Structure 1
Amino acid sequence: MSLKLITIDFWNTLFDSENGFARNQFRLNSLRSEIDALGYSITEKEFNPAIEASWGYFHNIWRNEHRTPSTASTVEFLFDYLNLPKNPEIIENVAEAFGDCIIYHPPNLLPGVKPALEKLKEKGYELGIVSDTGFSPGKTLRKVLYDAGIYSYFSEFSFSDETGYSKPSKESFLAILSKYQIDPDASLHIGDIEETDIIGAKQLGMKAIKFIGDKSSTFVSKTNHSIADAICKDWSEVVDVIQKIDSTII
């Protein structure tokens, strides 16, 4: 059985993590604008540890419960941390602004992604996105994909805020595999995190490529060992590596 489906992670695989500072400033300004109506103000010195604590809240759930909290839930945590009154309408507005900031300050498409996707489509592979989401939900990441000119290469999407599951949960991958009715052993996943992308795919029976070519990545793995079928440092080598893996499948 040959490979039929390639699923790909969004962050630090297709896109880098650049412009994070600009996105944080956008979030701060959005928060200031909303809480001003309540008679509250916030300094950058107060905001920075609060946003860090919010990411800590997010990561705890992501790591231990294999799901990602909604943007509104994380914003509620932020309001609690800052002792701000939790006005539902304002929390909704702040959550929307936090999610949309990536549109105004998007990450960069990594070098070589577009020509590689084009070659994979030419070779007949189905392509899908399997990605965990942070402040920006799947509907917003779709727009980033569209603006970067690569949305049309993908037929199916599995974003954790939409499925209710994050990697390494098998449901994250099955959300796409089941739509195509493709078996795991005829599928391959490309991602950057060993504990979520690689272990999740391999436990399900998929092939996996670990991508380590994004220098902006700040994620620290708990292990230097990888169970991936291959490791790629650049998208220029991904297509050939997939072909080699495909040729070994009986």
Structure 2
Amino acid sequence: MQSSRKGVVLLAKRVEGIRAVTFDCWGTLLQDRDWEGANRIRIGALSRFLPDLSEGEATDLLMEAWAHHDDAWKQVETFGPGRMAAFCLEAKDISDDESINQLTQEFEEASLNTGVMAVEGAKSTLEALTKANIRIGLVCDTGFTPGRVVRELLDREGLLSFLECQCFSDECGVPKPGNEIFAKCLAELGVRPPEALHVGDLKRTDIAGAHDIGMHAARFRGVHNDKTEAKEAEIVIDRLEQVLEVTGIA
């Protein structure tokens, strides 16, 4: 089906034979309530370990560590909170495991303090898919916040119980668009790629990764509209409830 909004054609075609739907997490099912606040918590933690740094210097060091994570992510590699914590401390000649582990935990758990919220329509969409016997999985790239913490955040919002399979890049060792993280989720759900639809917001990771392994892909732009020049999905949606139309449930 095609619909028009503000002169833009949205492709939300129905796909036959879908037995499973996998979702991205950030910007698709969850969004931060206060990303900047979570980073202020991380900067404060870093300042306690490195009291000689000014707030600005601590901020710059944290952002430098994040840049290493971002570079690795773009190379389909991981550079998680442990490596970011180690990078920050080792830059100032602190390398003991206890300090690195403590700072890692503070980096990881900052979002537990600032909180998240479920994207509009997330819970009702997952409920409807479950009632229709569509299997559901999560394929999530992680940054500061690892899978163990994301699970807690999903649970707080009442979403975790719907996700039969949860694949996180920090646990799989490979982020999207790597085939491995998608393949692991599909194997756990017991479906072949052509029988599955992946829903996510980023063309380079969600859409390219799903297409590369042979899945259908829908780009969700209700939170973040990816305007990069990367290849577009065959399905573009503005509301998560449109997944029900695509799968033929609604």
Instruction: Tell me the TM-score normalized by structure 1.
Output: 0.88
Structure 1 residue 72: deviation in Å? 1.1
Q: Does structure 1 retain, via aligned residues, the 8 Å contact 2:47–2:55?
A: no
Amino acid at match of 1:67: E
Aligned to 1:223: 229
Name the % identity: 26
1:51-90 equivalences in 2 (<5 Å): 51-64=62-75, 66-81=76-91, 83-90=92-99
Amino acid at match of 1:76: A
Cα pair distance change 1:18/1:221, threshold 3 Å: farther
Q: Deviations over 1:10-58 (max 9, x none)?
A: 11111124411110111122223344xxxx3332211222222111100
C-alpha RMSD of the superposition: 1.9
> Aligned with 1:116: secondary structure?
helix
Q: Does structure 2 retain, via aligned residues, the 8 Å contact 1:128–1:176?
A: yes
Q: 1:13 aligns with which of 28, 35, 49?
A: 28
More strand by share: 2
Distance in 2, matches of 1:224 and 1:72, equals 30
Q: 2:237 aligns with which of 232, 239, 247?
A: 232
> Aligned with 1:21: secondary structure?
helix
> Aligned with 1:158: secondary structure?
strand
Cα pair distance change 1:177/1:236, threshold 3 Å: closer
Structure 1 residue 107: deviation in Å? 2.3
Aligned to 2:60: 49
More helix by share: 1
Q: Deviations over 1:54-94 (max 9, x none)?
A: 11100111111x1222311111222244x252222111100
Q: Does structure 2 retain, via aligned residues, the 8 Å contact 1:195–1:221?
A: no
Matched, 1:32 2:47: yes
Aligned to 1:4: 19
Aligned to 2:11: none
> Aligned with 1:10: secondary structure?
coil
Q: How many residues align?
A: 235
Distance in 2, matches of 1:54 and 1:104, equals 21
Q: 1:170 aligns with which of 179, 182, 206?
A: 179
> Aligned with 1:243: secondary structure?
coil
Amino acid at match of 1:195: R
Structure 1 residue 221: deviation in Å? 5.2
Matched, 1:214 2:223: yes
Using the TM superposition, name which of 84-93 and 117-126 deviates more: 84-93
Matched, 1:114 2:123: yes
Unaligned runs of 5+ in 1: none
Distance in 2, matches of 1:221 and 1:57, equals 23
